[in-house]
Each structure stands twice: as C-alpha cells, then as structure tokens.
Amino acid sequence: MSFTNKNDNRVHLTAVTDTYNYQNTVPKSCVHRAVVGEVFLTDVRKIHDDKFTTAGYLPKSHIYFNDLPYQKSEDRVYDAILLLEICRQTSIYVTHNFFSVPYSARFVFDDADFILLDKNIPYKPECSNVIVEVDIAERKFRKTELTGLIFRMNIYVDGTFCAQKTMNISWMDERKWQRLRNNRPLHSHSTIASFDTTAREVGRQLIQNVVIGNKEISDRGLTTTVIVDQDHPSIFDHPLDHVPGMLLIEAYRQSALLAINHRLNIPSTELVINRYKVSFKRFCEFHLPVYCHVWLDRIHFTGNKNNTVIPMTIFQNEEVVSTAELTIMSK
C-alpha cells in the first residue's frame, strides 16, 4: 500500500483497494455485535506487531447511522458517527485476534479524539469502501498483564484520507468485571416525558434516534436529559449493564447542535461536527437520570473563527461521567 498527495492536499491511497475482501463481513462476535447488519468490517490484515489494516463498507440504509436530514438525494452525506463505529469495531477485532484477549473479557472505552478532515463524505451510486490504517501507539500494563491499548487510526473512504482518530481502550477479565459490576440495577430511569426536541433540531430524521430532551437554557449553559432507550435496535444491539459510550457521544452531538442553534441561530442541517474529543470518567448507570450540559459561557472559536469549540459535560447523581469538546463548522 502506498500514498500520494494530490492537488487538493489530501492523501489518497494508490493501492488497489479491491485486494481486500468486501464480499462479506467479519464474524459479528469479533466486533461485539449481535446482528450481522450492525457489522461494517469486511477484512483485517496484520502488517507487523504494531501496525494493522482493516477494510469495511459504509451502509446506505441503516436506521441510525444513515439518519441525516437532506433536501435532495444528491445532497446526502455520511455521518461521522459511522466512522467512529468502524473505528470501534477495528479496535475490538485487533485486540481479540492479535493480542490474545479472550472474548470473555469486558471492555472499557477510556477516551478518544476524532478529527474529520473533509466537510462531507458524499453518497455514491455504488457502495463506498473504507480502509483504516491502525498503529499501536501504546500498550498499557498492570504489572506484567496487558490491560489496554492506545490506537492511532487513519481512515480512508474510497481511497481519500478523510479522518483521524486516537482511541484509548482497556479491558478486564469476567471475574473482575463481576466483582465491580455485580447487582447493578438494569432498568432504565423513566424518560417518557423527555421528548420535547424535534428530530431535525438535532440533525436526525427519525424521532427514535433523538436521545435528548427536557432542554433547559440559561446564559451560562444548556442542559438536556439523556434519553436511554434500551430497545433501540442499533445503540443497544445487545444487552449491557451500563449506558454505552455510543449513546453518550450521540447525546453530546445532539446537545451541541441545539446549543449552536440557540447561540448563533444556525440550523443543524447547515452544520458539520468535525472533531469529537471525549473522555469517560466512570460508568453511566441505567437507573439514574443522566444529563448533558453545554458550557455556553466557555464556547470559543479557532481557525480564523471558522470552528466553534463547545465544552460539554455529562453527569449523573451530581458526579461527572464524561467530558467532551466538540468542534463545529458551517457547511
């Protein structure tokens, strides 16, 4: 595989991508999915002990990952959230298959920094393919036991370098997990009355993909209630004992779009989130209410004021669960 710089200053793959398998997905268990339709990886290659490559595809009709508003079919684009999921699947597959981590191990998402290099990843008549270049930046140990990895990933869509991600994950064996998580309530705190946000306000078309509500706005901040729907077919593809990072990132995304609309009067359809910088501090539990707070008084601008940086916090029971900075620009 080799790379070239073209006139648009982006890096392009010059290798023939059809040397990778795109005919079928990897086994669903390899990426912690219960449904085949939720698997987007199709091939994985080991280059050496610290470098791997994965291949995959971008779905065109997924109920969650393809749920972005558009006026005309030629305006349709892919959501960066889909690339985050492909990176998650990449990290899980590489960890199990090349670092001898058993499938009984339980994983923890520690933090991530994702940067989108292109404003838009447009739909094409044919299926778009993805290549992820994976470098192991760091191995984490507890004494002599490997307990985590930090990945650096370069993501190419149809040969064009379009995103980067640094991802930090940890894991523990089943026995330690049960000691830590045993007897946690699994029922969700009721959020039936929370749906006061329209799908389009938060960059979605389907109301079932709206994960925030009960918005409260002051000069200093905007706070939303996170809606935890354990029947969501994609976010809760399989049973969990805590609120997953995927849902919290979506809550950040939707709350940030609401905040920009409130502060700058720009609708979600005119905005692109080009950076997700997220850190997770503790488990988010099902049985307690979850809130996402946007620090409106700390919003600042970068890149000749083209980018708006939005500091955010998710909290539960008056404790910080996660912190984030999302960067948004106009299309």
Tell me the pLDDT tens digit for each residue of 47-97.
Answer: 999 999 999 999 999 999 999 998 888 889 999 999 999 999 999 999 999
Residue 3 has what pLDDT? Answer: 38
Identical fold between 3-179 and 183-330: yes
Residue 194 has what pLDDT? Answer: 67
128, two tokens:
């778009």
Residue 7 has what pLDDT? Answer: 41
Q: Any idea which fold 183-330 has?
A: Thiol Ester Dehydrase; Chain A (3.10.129)
In tens, the pLDDT along 11-59 reads 556 454 568 999 999 999 999 999 999 999 999 999 999 999 999 999 9
What's the CA gap between 116 and 155, in Å, rounded? 9
In tens, the pLDDT along 157-171 reads 999 999 999 999 999
User: Residue 8 pLDDT more than 50?
Assistant: no
Residue 148 has what pLDDT? Answer: 98
Residue 1 has what pLDDT? Answer: 42
- Given a contact cutoff of 8 angstroms between Cβ atoms, the answer to whether 329 and 119 are in contact is yes
In tens, the pLDDT along 270-295 reads 999 999 999 999 999 999 999 999 99
Residue 186 has what pLDDT? Answer: 86
What's the CA gap between 164 and 141, in Å, rounded? 25
Residue 12 has what pLDDT? Answer: 59
What's the CA gap between 219 and 325, in Å, rounded? 19
2-27 as b/e: b if 16+ CB within 10 A: eeeeeeeeebebeeebeebeeeebbe
What's the CA gap between 190 and 319, in Å, rounded? 19
Q: How confident is the model at residue 9 (pLDDT cuts 50, 70, 90)?
A: very low
Q: How confident is the model at residue 192 (pLDDT cuts 50, 70, 90)?
A: low
- Which residues make beta-bridge pairs with 108? 170
User: Residue 199 pLDDT more than 50?
Assistant: yes
What DSSP line would sit under 5-32, residue for residue? E-TTS-EEE-S-GGGS--SSPPPGGGGT
Neighbour tally for 253: CB within 10 Å: 27
Helix axes 245-264, 80-98, angle to 10 degrees: 160
Where in the chain are the domains? 3-179, 183-330
Burial of 231 (0-12, 13-18, 19+ CB in 10 A): exposed
Spell out the residues 6+ positions from residue 197 whose beta carbon is closer than 8 angstroms to its own: 210, 212, 213, 215, 224, 254, 258
Q: Any idea which fold 3-179 has?
A: Thiol Ester Dehydrase; Chain A (3.10.129)
User: Residue 114 pLDDT more than 60?
Assistant: yes
- Given a contact cutoff of 8 angstroms between Cβ atoms, the answer to whether 214 and 159 are in contact is no
β-pair type (271-280, 41-48): unpaired
